[in-house]
Amino acid sequence: MAQMDRHIAAADWIGRSSIDRPPSSEPDKSAEIGDLWRILTVRRAWVLGTAALFTVIAVAYGFLAPPLYAATAQILIDPRDKQIVTNDVNPVAMAPDGGVIQVESQARVIESDSVLTRAAHDAGLLDDPDFGGVGTGFLSWTLRTLQGEGAVPATDAAAEARAVRALRRKLAVKRADKVFVVDVVVTAGNPDKAARIVNAIAAAYLKDQTSARADAASRASAELASRLDELRKRVNVAENKVEKFKAENGLITASGQLISEQQLAESNNRIVAARARTAEARTRLQQIKDARGTAFGPDSAPEAIQSAVIERLRTQYAELASKEADLRTQLGNRHPYIEAVRTQMQDVKRLTEVELARIARSAETDYQRAAANEKALTSNLDELKRGSIVTGEASVRLRELDREVDTSRAVYSNFLSRSREIQEQTGIDTTNARVISWARPPAERSWPLRLLLFVGGLVSGLGLGAGLAFVREYLDPTVLSRRQMERLSHTSVVATYPEFKAGSERPASVAASLTLDRLSSVRGQIHPPGQALSVLVTSAASDGADRRSTIHLLAAVATARGERVLLVEADLEAPPDQDASGPGLIEVLRGEAGMAAAAKADSESGAARIGIGDIAKASRETLSRANIEQFLAAAKSSFDLILIDGGVLTGNLRIGPLAAASDRLLIVAKNGATRQRDLLDILDVSEVLGRPVSGSLFVDRYAAAA
């Protein structure tokens, strides 16, 4: 008996190997992209609904919002100020980066309170209701109350603050990349008002720059006083200290630097270069060693062993390998010609190893030479370091004295030149800024742009809708592709069916024929020839219609092929069939009716069909393992294929003995409809029942049968 059980277990393993082979775990980027597209397709209602909502809101805003007009003035701010004097009080940006920084700073000056206050006065904005002016209407009073201002302020400072605050909200100062032109843009409800305000800001900026530079020159001239004599004495004292210290310590300099320091720097540079050469030689040698024995691998040869000889041998080896494959296909694996070609391939490998050995010896020699050179330079550097330690303390003191001299000399020189120039700069304006384009009243509105709002609402709606679709799929994921189905169920997909609808009969029949062929191969492996095969088909609740369509299609195709097929309805949770009459599966299991009396011809498939019967009689004794095995044994003696509709296995647990006694357990899933949670529950229940899922029948609504 134990020996028979081992034979049955071995046969069952062979049968499972043809259908239940584990899916590939290699990553497939195209499959992942396809899954994302399927999520968007399945959740298209979320995407399209959100896009429609955002588009309607954007378009409504475009038609209802009051129009705004933007006027623009252009100011050229040249960082190279007018060179009226040699050195201006204000810094002059000579480098490109410094010029950009200066222009950016001037752009912020345009937004400053001083410029905007001057512009508000010139444009008459203090009494303008759009810019904080006090209105007399009820709406103005309500807005002031909500903002906490209460009564109308009587001071000019408060009016200026309101006007500047409102003007800053409507002002935009922009600068294009790599140019020194600043665009000053003001948005207002009236085109003439917008142009007037922009021109007032440009004029106020030019006046502010002139005033600021004059004030800076006056302050600098006042701050430079009689410190020149003190600075001159400080320079003389510092220079005398340096010369005295050199004479006492015997320090010799050349080109402003100690000779010992020059030698140390040069030696350090040489040893850095030597170490780089040593590392390069060591890397090349290691690459050659790693490449030994892999010259004919699929990867390209490393740069260290790329030579004409190696490339020629690789080419020759590839030609011999191709020739050997052709001869093996034409003459067989043991033909003398093939042995000769293989001998030539071995000779090519041997020659390659010889060439690699020669290259390795050459690289070894280069590495040893570089290492010896590095060692010699290191020894020389150590000697220089020991010598530099002797004069280190004196050098530190000398550098400190030199810094004191340089600092004193630089300060004295700057004060001397600046004191002479600033006296002449007080009344000179060196600002190099001008308005190159005064603002004109705009002819077209700048906001709202209806086309832009439409496109923006559509794009943002699509993006948000796609995000909601992905979140919805993440919260309640479904099976999206055949590859994902295999990965979740740890079994292969027996066949892929198109969605059951008009026009898909032929592809679905091809998939059903493929399923029957695979089941036939399994039947021949695990059963004696001629013995029938029982297959229980289950699915999630959302795939009930696809499950029933698949079972009837399998029965119809098998009947058309000449097989005797029996359809068994075993779904205890299905609603009662009003057209069914007579005994069914329950009555047969209870012994109240025979199989011949219960089996009726199925009009759809042409197979024999046994209904579920009276579900109220489905007791535990009726659905016992013994009754079910007796029923299946009797059915197999009269039919070639038994297809059992197991319904939703997680809610149909009373037919567990029937699932355990069936030869195969197939699960029907549909992409975009089958929830992963339901699929995993069915897999867990099948494991508990002792009959794991053997394979799956995948219904793909987007493709024909594979």
Question: Residue 541: is its pLDDT beyond 70?
Answer: yes
Cross-strand pairs, 184: 73, 173
Binned at pLDDT 50, 70 and 90, residue 25 comes out as very low
- For 464-515, the pLDDT digits (tens) are 988 888 888 888 888 888 888 888 888 899 999 988 876 667 788 888 888 8
Binned at pLDDT 50, 70 and 90, residue 305 comes out as low
Q: Are residues 80 and 203 in the same domain?
A: yes
The Cα-based distances of 304 to 123, 313, 366, 599 in angstroms read 75, 16, 13, 79
With the CA atoms of 111, 113, 115 and 117 taken in that order, what torsion angle do they form, in degrees rounded to the nearest 10? 130
The answer as to whether 197 is a domain residue is yes
Q: Are residues 75 and 9 in the same domain?
A: no
Question: Residue 93: is its pLDDT beyond 60?
Answer: no
> Number of folded domains in the chain?
4
Q: Are residues 139 and 274 in the same domain?
A: no
Q: What is the mean pLDDT of residues 392-398?
A: 69
Question: Residue 10: what pLDDT?
Answer: 32
Q: What is the mean pLDDT of residues 669-696?
A: 90
Question: Residue 473: what pLDDT?
Answer: 80
Q: Are residues 646 and 529 in the same domain?
A: yes
Binned at pLDDT 50, 70 and 90, residue 557 comes out as very high
401, 238 contact by CB (below 8 A): yes
693, 491 contact by CB (below 8 A): yes
The least confident of 226-240, 551-565, 629-643 is 226-240
192, 68 contact by CB (below 8 A): no
- For 306-325, the pLDDT digits (tens) are 667 777 877 878 887 887 78
The answer as to whether 235 is a domain residue is no
The answer as to whether 228 is a domain residue is no
Question: Residue 529: what pLDDT?
Answer: 55
In sequence order, the 6+-apart residues with CB closer than 8 A to the CB of 357 are none
For residues 140 and 202, the model is more confident at 202
Question: Residue 579: what pLDDT?
Answer: 53
The least confident of 16-25, 31-40, 50-59, 140-149 is 16-25
Q: Are residues 317 and 465 in the same domain?
A: no
The Cα-based distances of 128 to 98, 136, 445, 474 in angstroms read 40, 12, 21, 55
The answer as to whether 194 is a domain residue is yes
Question: Residue 328: is its pLDDT beyond 50?
Answer: yes
Q: Are residues 183 and 266 in the same domain?
A: no
% of residues, the chain, pLDDT over 90: 12
The answer as to whether 237 is a domain residue is no
Q: Which domain holds residue 529?
A: 2-22+490-700
Question: Residue 194: is its pLDDT beyond 80?
Answer: yes
The Cα-based distances of 486 to 24, 490, 543, 689 in angstroms read 8, 5, 17, 21
Q: Are residues 189 and 314 in the same domain?
A: no
The answer as to whether 285 is a domain residue is yes
Question: Residue 17: what pLDDT?
Answer: 37
Sign of CA dihedral 264, 269, 270, 275: positive
Q: Are residues 548 and 458 in the same domain?
A: no
702, 38 contact by CB (below 8 A): yes
Q: Are residues 73 and 93 in the same domain?
A: yes
Q: What is the mean pLDDT of residues 97-119?
A: 82
Q: Are residues 215 and 322 in the same domain?
A: no
Mean pLDDT, the chain, integer: 78
Q: What is the mean pLDDT of residues 292-301?
A: 54
The least confident of 7-16, 72-81, 250-259, 539-548 is 7-16
Residues 348, 319: Cα–Cα separation, whole Å: 11
The answer as to whether 233 is a domain residue is no
The answer as to whether 303 is a domain residue is yes
Q: What phi and psi values does residue 199 have, to the nearest 5 degrees?
A: -65, -35
Q: Are residues 49 and 173 in the same domain?
A: no
Sign of CA dihedral 376, 378, 380, 383: negative
- Count the Cβ atoms, other than its own, within 10 Å of residue 191: 21
Q: Are residues 112 and 216 in the same domain?
A: yes
